[in-house]
Chain A
Amino acid sequence: MYIDPHIHMVSRTTDDYARMAVAGCVAVTEPAFWAGFDRSSPAGFQDYFRQLTETEPRRAAAYGIRHHSWICINPKEAEDHGFAREVMSMIPAFLERPNVLGVGEIGLNRNSRTELAVFEEHLEIAAKHNALVLIHTPHLEDKLKGTRLILDAIRAHGKLDPARILVDHVEEHTVRLVLERGFWAGMTLYPDTKCTAARAVDIIEMHGTNRIWINSAGDWGHSDPLAVPKAVLSMRARGHTAADIHKISFDNPRAFLSQSKNFSAEPLRPTVA
């Protein structure tokens, strides 16, 4: 039994839901993200947010998987500040939907001034609505600088409790910064560009099992929707106890996510569509 707390199911097939259910997935959370192309209007986001809050929960329920979402405009589409503000004005209404956990995945992509300004405006929305926050840290050579800018911006904003913020896509050079300041840390298991399962297990061995989770971030790119159960297998091969494995793959995401009343990992009877 496991939770994949960061996966983009709009990009995955129904067969992936079936495979994940067979592998023991009982709940997922899906942050709003970039679709691989820029949407041409804010109305495109309105439709996307409906997909995240209406269509995907039904598709997941057919396989007994509970589906939850996070709402935002992703930093990859935030370079046009006016456009981003129009999309952000839609967020509060969607935060009221029954499967929405909070604001995410917000953060930085190329560490630009506009991305940072849009990030700070998202933090303000989260503070105003007392919402949980899921943060995307930049890729590759931009990650270390971006993680520092993000953590400093949250500190300067000052209205949000780090225990209600998860900073995702940490690697060896950023995990300590995130955990030391009291945030939750997410490790993304990605074939080439983030953590491999072996390195994620290394990080758990070095930094412990508190306030940390693993996710697949499975999306339309090169990624694996079964990355979490495969990492569980790696932890077993590396001699970790069943209790530690359950903590990383189930108890920790449940503890963080249950800070929203809308999260549940209770068994769900499959309702085949």
Chain B
Amino acid sequence: MSTPAGTPPLDRKALIDLGFIEARAKVLDIAAFLDRLDRAGGDATPDFRVEAIRAALRIALETSPARAERILKSWSDPTTEPAARADGKAARGVHPTPKT
């Protein structure tokens, strides 16, 4: 690497210029997604996937580093033993067991 490990070649100002509009759009999309669910009819029981997104947003607002890594870990299956059988072919995106 031409820069010390972990330090991007671009400085903060340049990275903000490069990424701000895209990040702005993604924040609005998440807010609009949550608004849409509030407006909708049907079962109002909290969905584990949406709750996992809310919990991840709290991690994103923390000031400590490795937010992306910690969010991915918070969504991961915490068990360590192989499953007795494959539970369908597709993963759901977040592990259903609520974390404390």
Binding site for B on A (CB under 8 A): 34, 76, 79, 109-116, 138-145, 148-149, 171-173, 198-199, 202, 205-209, 237-241, 243-244
Contacts and interface: CB of A to CB of B under 8 A. Distances in A.
A70 B1 CA distance: 31
Contact of A109 (B69, B80, B86): B86
A110 B2 contact: no
A115 B82 CA distance: 9
B58 interface: no
Interface in B64-100: 66, 68-69, 72-73, 75-80, 82-95
Contacts of B2: 240-241, 243-244
Contact of A142 (B5, B15, B69, B77): B77
A145 B79 contact: yes
Interface residues of B, number: 39
Contacts of A111: 77, 82-83
A207 to B, nearest CB: 7
Given A143-B76, A172-B72, A198-B19, A79 B6 contact: no
Contacts of B10: 238-239
Given A148-B80, A238-B8, 10 more contacts: A112-B83, A114-B85, A139-B91, A141-B77, A142-B76, A172-B66, A173-B76, A199-B68, A206-B5, A241-B9
Main secondary structure on B side of the interface with A:
loop
Contacts of A238: 8-10, 15, 18
Contacts of B14: 239
B45 interface: no
Contact of B84 (A109, A113, A199, A209): A113
A110 B75 contact: no
B63 interface: no
Nearest to B2: A241
Given A141-B76, A141-B77, A206 B6 contact: yes
B17 to A, nearest CB: 10
Given A148-B80, A209-B1, A141 B91 contact: yes
A111 B5 CA distance: 33
Given A172-B69, A238-B18, A144 B76 contact: yes
Interface in B38-81: 66, 68-69, 72-73, 75-80
Contacts of B6: 205-206
Contact of B95 (A34, A79, A141, A198): A141
Nearest to A116: B82
B3 to A, nearest CB: 8
Contact of B7 (A143, A145, A205): A205
